[in-house]
Amino acid sequence: MSLHDYQRKRDFTRTREPPATTRGAAGKRAIFVVQLHHASSRHYDFRLQVGDVLKSWAVPKGPSFNPKDKRLAVEVEDHPLDYASFEGDIEAGYGKGHVDRFDHGVWSTTGDVEAQLRKGHLRFDLYGERLQGAWHLVRSSRKQKQPAWFLIKVDDAFASALEADDLLDARLRASTRKAAKTPAQKSAAGQSTVRRRASPPMRPAPLRKLMAMIKATPKARAAAISGDFFKPELARLGDAPPAGDQWLHEVKWDGYRLLATVHAGRVALWSRNGLPWTDRLPEIAQAITMLGLDSAQLDGELIALDAAGHSDFNALQKTLAGEANAPLVYMLFDCPALQGYTLAQARLVDRKALLALLLKDRPAPLAYSTHTVGQGDVAFRMAVEHQLEGVVSKRCDAPYRGGRGDDWRKTKRLHSDEFAVLGYTPPSGSRHGFGALLLGKPDPASTGRWVYAGRVGSGFSDADLSTLSRRVAKGGTTRVPPNIHGIDPLLRGARWVTPQAVVEVSFRGHGGNALLRQASFKGMRPDKSIADLVDSDRASAAARSSSRATRSQAMSSDTPHAPTAVEITHPERLIYPQDGIRKQDVADYYRAVMDWFLPGVVDRPTSVVRCPDGVEKTCFFQKHALAGLKHVDTVALEEDAGAAAQYIVPRDALSVMELVQFGAVEFHPWGGHAETPDHCDRLVFDLDPGPGVTWSRVVAAARLVRKQLEQLGLVSFLRTSGGKGLHVVVPLQPATLWPDVKSFAHAFADTLALAHPLDFVAVAAKAHRKERVYLDYLRNTRGATSVASYSLRSRPGAPVAVPLRWSELGKITGGDHYTLRTVPRRLAGLRSDPWKGIDTVQQDLQRVLDAIGAHRSD
C-alpha cells in the first residue's frame, strides 16, 4: 500500500504530523485508532492498521453503537503507523485544526482483510477503551469523488443507543468547546457536554450470586489472593482417554496456555512460564477487567479462530507477530481463586460451575471451555471427527495442583510434540535460509545429552523461513557435538547449534532408527524453554517411544494383517431404532451384498459415515485413518494446504467389515483410485429435487440428463441415491484429470439449467431450488465423494443406494425405494448386474472436450 498521497498533500516544514516512515507499530498486534479532528468540518477519523499503513475513513458524525445507524465514512488516503499516536494542532494547510485521540486498541477479523476491502464489506471486531464489539464497513454503491462507506455496529452485547459524542470525557469536551468557532460547531459541542459513561453498557457479571456460590462451595477458603504468577497444572500425554464417570473431558485447544490474575481489580496476564503478557493482549485484559472482579486466578488457553470457528495455531502465532488479524479468544477452563477465596482444594466440578456462572453470556474474547462427564471414548471420537487437537481428561473431584501430575491427561488426534533445535541443513534450490531443522529430545538416561529425533523440512511459510533463519538457523559448527547421539548416518552438510529454541512438529509416527516420519513444522514455541522438554508431557521418554512405535505400526499401510474374521461387538445395539435394526443386522446386510458392494469401493479412498450409537444420535463423517484399525489400508494423499493425510482405503471384504464394526453405516468413495488420485474414472451428477418437485419430474430430469450425455457420445448409468433423488454416473476410460472433469461437469450443469430454467438449477443455494431439480456437479472434484452402490444411508427406514437399469426407472417410487430388508431379495432375483459393462466402457472425456472446443471455435 502506498503513502504517496499522504506525503504529497502535506508540507512537513509547516505541520507536526509524522512523515511517512511506516515504522510505528510494525511487527506487533494490528491496531486501530479513532481521532477527533476539529478541521473546517468537525469529524472523527477512523483508522485500521492493514499491513504497514493505517487505512483511514473520515466519519462526520462519529461511530454509533446503534445497529440501526449507518454512519457515513468517507475513505481518505492511507496514513503511516506513527499517526496512531499523533495529537495536537495542524497549524496550516491540508487538514488544519486540532486533533485529539478519541480511542485506540487492537482489532481483528476472520479471513483476508484486503480481499474483504476489495469486495466492499469488512466485518471486524474492535477492542478499545470506548469502541468494542463487532462492526461492519460497507462500501456505498453511489459514485462520488471519494469512495463512500458506511460504518455500522453489529447488534451484539455492546450495542446501545450511544454515539461517539456521548463518550467524550472532560478533556475531549474542553477541546471541542475550544475548537468550536462556527454556529454549527458550537451546536455540536453543546450536544456533547453530557457524558453518560466512558464505555458502552454491558451486563455486569453476576457477582452477588457468584459470591453466594463461592461461600457454599466445599473446601473454599477465604485468603489473600496476590496478583503474582501461579504455577499451572499440567497434563500427561496418554494413548486413550481414561474410562469412568470420575473423569470429565474437555476439548484440547490448539494455542498457548495463558494464566490471569486479578489483584485489587488490576489484571495481569502470564505465559505458562511466568512471562508477563498483559501488554501483548490488551483485549483479553480489558475483557477480564469488565468482569468486575476484585481478585482472581484464572487458567485457560489463548487461541485464534479461523473463518470456520476452529482454533488455528498458525493464525495465533501470526496474529501475535502482527502478520495476521485473527480474532483471539481466551478459552477458560479453571479458576483456582475467586473474590478473596482460594479454591485450590475444591473439587474441579465445583470450580468449573463457578467459572461457568462468571462467564455466562459473556461475549468474546472470553469463553468457557465446556466438558462432558464420562464417555471419554465418545468425546475423543467427536474430537477426531471434527478435526480438533484431541481431548484433555481431568478427575472431577481433584484439587488444583501446580505442576505435572496424573489428575489431568491429554489424548491427541495427531502425533505432535515439542523438540529442541539442534542444528540445520543448508538450503537447496529456491529455498532460502535453511533446508531443514535438526531436532532432538533430552536423553532421559543422561543429563546434558541429547537424542537426535530427525529433521523437519516442510510446513514453513516464507515468514517462518525468515524468522527461523534469523533466530535459530545461523552460525553453528560442522562438527557433531559429543553430547548428541543417534544421528542419522545419511545426514550431510549439517551445522550444529547450541540448543535454545523449541519448536512444535506434527509427524506420522516413527521410521527407521526411531526417527520422525513425515514431519511438518507447526510453529515456534516461545512460551516453552529447553528446560520444559525435560518435564515432558509423558511419564518417560521410553513410554513415549514405545507408544509412538505401536501407533505408527497400527497406522502403517504396509503392516501385514492376518486374514481373520472381524468380531462384531455389541451386536444388540440399535442402529435404526425406529425400524428395530441392530448392529448385527447391519453387519449381516453388508456380508450378504458384499460381492455387489465391494467393486464400488475397493482400492478407492473412501469416507465413511459412522453412527456408533445409532442414526438418531451423533454420526460422524470420517475420511482419515482411525486409530485401532488392523485390516483397513491407508494411503497418504496431499490435501489443499499441501500437507499429506492418511486416507481410508478398503482393499477387501475384511476391511469393509472392520469399518462396520467401528460403526460405519455409509460408504462414500472417490471417483478415482488410491494409486492414481489425480485422475477420475467415475463422473457423478446428483439430481436433488427441491421443495414442490414430484417424483415424476425427477424421473423426467434423469432421462433428459441421459439424453444430453448421449448427444455428446457419453454412456451413463443410473442409481437411486438412497435419499430423495437419483445419481447419473458416467464412467471414464481412460481416466481424466480432475480439473478437466470438474470443468466439463460445471459447464454441462450450467448449460442444462440455462436451457431448462423451470426444471433445473445448477447453484447450491437452497433459495433457488424451489420446484426445481438441483443438478449437483460438485462431487466431481479431487477429494469429493458420492455414496457407494449398495451402501446404506443413515436415515430412518435404512434406505440403500441401488444401481438400476434405465428401463427400471419408471417402476420405482423414490430415491429411497430400496431398503436393507428389500435389497437382498432384489439381488437374489437378478439375472445380471444392472451396471454390467460399466468398467469396460471406453469413452474419453478429453475427446469430448476437444470436440466441444472445436465446435465453439467454428
Residues taking part in catalysis: 252
Cα dist. 254→302, 413, 652 in Å? Answer: 8, 11, 37
d(CA 460, CA 675): 28
Q: Are strands 247-251 and 233-237 parallel, antiparallel or unpaired?
A: unpaired
Task: Give which of 721, 727, 705, 720 is closest to 812, Cα–Cα.
Answer: 720
Measure the CA angle with vertex 72, ends 71 and 78; round to 5°: 120
DSSP3 helix / strand / coil % (the chain, rounded to 5): 25, 30, 45
Residue 542 DSSP class? H
The DSSP secondary structure of 631-695, one letter per residue, reads: S-EEEEEE-TTS-EEEEEE--SHHHHHHHHHTTEEEEEE-SSBTTBTTEEEEEEEEEEE-TT--H
**What is the longest distance spanned by two Cα atoms in the chain?**
97
Strand partners, 298: 260
d(CA 716, CA 707): 9
d(CA 24, CA 4): 17
d(CA 673, CA 782): 11
Contact 485, 442 (CB under 8 A): no
Cα dist. 56→47, 61, 528 in Å? Answer: 4, 15, 38
d(CA 695, CA 703): 13
Single-letter code of the amino acid located at 674: A
d(CA 738, CA 727): 19
Joined grid coordinates for residue 505: 512438529
Joined grid coordinates for residue 303: 487461541
Task: Give which of 252, 218, 243 is closest to 373, Cα–Cα.
Answer: 243
Q: Are strands 760-761 and 773-776 parallel, antiparallel or unpaired?
A: parallel
d(CA 476, CA 479): 9
Count, residues in the chain? 858
Contact 702, 687 (CB under 8 A): yes
**What stretches of 242-359 adopt beta strand conformation (E)?**
247-251, 256-263, 266-271, 295-304, 328-338, 341-342
Upstream peptide bond of 365 is cis (omega within 30 degrees of 0): yes
d(CA 123, CA 110): 8
Joined grid coordinates for residue 285: 485484559
Residue 718 DSSP class? E
